[in-house]
Every structure is written in structure tokens, then in C-alpha cells.
A and B are shown apart, each in its own frame.
Chain A
Amino acid sequence: KQEVTQIPAALSVPEGENLVLNCSFTDSAIYNLQWFRQDPGKGLTSLLLIQSSQREQTSGRLNASLDKSSGRSTLYIAASQPGDSATYLCAATGAGSYQLTFGKGTKLSVIP
């Protein structure tokens, strides 16, 4: 059974700092990996999707990487802003399966 882990559970950084959020998964036979953002009391917003054949994806100040062999993905946020404060979730889709397995998230606070 796939397990997805996100460390740390919470992170506080000063505004302007570059930061990395980590995600690890136990079964490397994934179809894709998706990063989401969740604001308090809101739904999930898809940030980046990395297919299993890709190494990274970029959107604005966000860059996500995928290393299937080591079972790891990272989300890099450049020049963090207070508006980036939210919980970030990663989730893996198993090969041959529709099911997303979620990590429990990293709660990010960017201090002005």
C-alpha cells in the first residue's frame, strides 16, 4: 500500500526566503505526483502535476521535482511572500489506479 509522508509538518520562514518542501512515497510505481495548496477552510488548489516520465515542472515561483528511484519529490518556492502561507499537500497516483494517496501536508507560514 502506498504511503506518502511530508516533513516537516509545519514551517515558518521570513518573507523573501527561498524554501523547499519535501514529500516521500513508498511505492515508486506511480503514474504522477501532484502538489496542492489548501487555505484554511477552503478546498484544494492544484499547483503542479509531474508525470512519472518527467523530472520537474515549473509555474512562476514554484518548481517541483520528482525522483522516482528514491521515492522523493520536492516543491521549491522562490522569494516567499506572506500570501504563500497555506498548507501544501502532495499526492501520488498509483500506476494503473485512479486513486490519489495524500500526505498529511506541510503548514507554511511566511512572516512579513
Chain B
Amino acid sequence: NAGVTQTPKFQVLKTGQSMTLQCAQDMNHNSMYWYRQDPGMGLRLIYYSASEGTTDKGEVPNGYNVSRLNKREFSLRLESAAPSQTSVYFCASSEESTYEQYFGPGTRLTVT
């Protein structure tokens, strides 16, 4: 039981490049989330998906797109990366009864 997994662990992009961050969970959770963590700002919600086929914006969605590929997988895409998107990105999933969230190990992204 791996929990929540994320790939890649580290990535360096040049301004304007695109990339997709992958997330998968094996806990059969319906809800999945993408957060970013920045020094002094804490963790902020980018997008979430309450169930397969649905996605909703969180607090800071601009510059990002998401895809809920199936119940297990939730990807985050940066179409044209900007230095302001340098951050640590965390994926999470939650149980239906308690909404307890479980986090992946994170992706450290640097945009130069």
C-alpha cells in the first residue's frame, strides 16, 4: 500500500516550458487535491477533484490545469511555466467519512 505517490520528485524548467505533475493514490479515495507550498505563505489549494470526472478551482488556480484521469490519478499541468510557479507541489487524497487528508512526498519545481 503506497498511499499517495508523486512524480517527478524534482524538476527544473525554463520560463515558457510546459510540464505535467503526476499523482496517484491506491486508497480508493474519491477526493484528490493539489497544493503548493511557499515560504511565508503556507500551503494553498490550487485545484481539487471531489470525484472522478469533476474538478474545481481552489485558492490559486491561475496558470494551472488539472485532469482527473480516473479514480486513482490526478495530474497538474503547467502550460507555460513562470518563475512565480517555483514552489513545492503536494498532492493529497481524502477519505469520504472523515475528510482526513493524506499527502504525497511532493515535487520540488524550479522555474528559471
Interface residues, chain A, CB within 8 Å of chain B?
31-32, 34, 36, 42-46, 49, 51, 89, 91, 93, 98-100, 102-105
Contact = CB atoms under 8 A, between A and B. Distances in A.
Contacts, number: 53
B42 interface: yes
Interface string B89-112: 010101000111111111000000
A108 B58 CA distance: 29
26 contacts: A31-B99, A32-B100, A34-B100, A42-B106, A43-B90, A44-B43, A44-B92, A44-B103, A49-B98, A49-B100, A91-B43, A93-B99, A98-B33, A98-B48, A98-B50, A98-B94, A98-B99, A99-B45, A99-B58, A99-B59, A100-B33, A100-B43, A102-B42, A102-B43, A103-B42, A104-B40
Interface residues of B, number: 24
A31 B95 CA distance: 13
Interface in B24-51: 31, 33, 40-45, 48, 50
A98 B96 CA distance: 10
User: Dominant SS at the B interface?
Assistant: strand
A43 B99 contact: no
A24 to B, nearest CB: 14
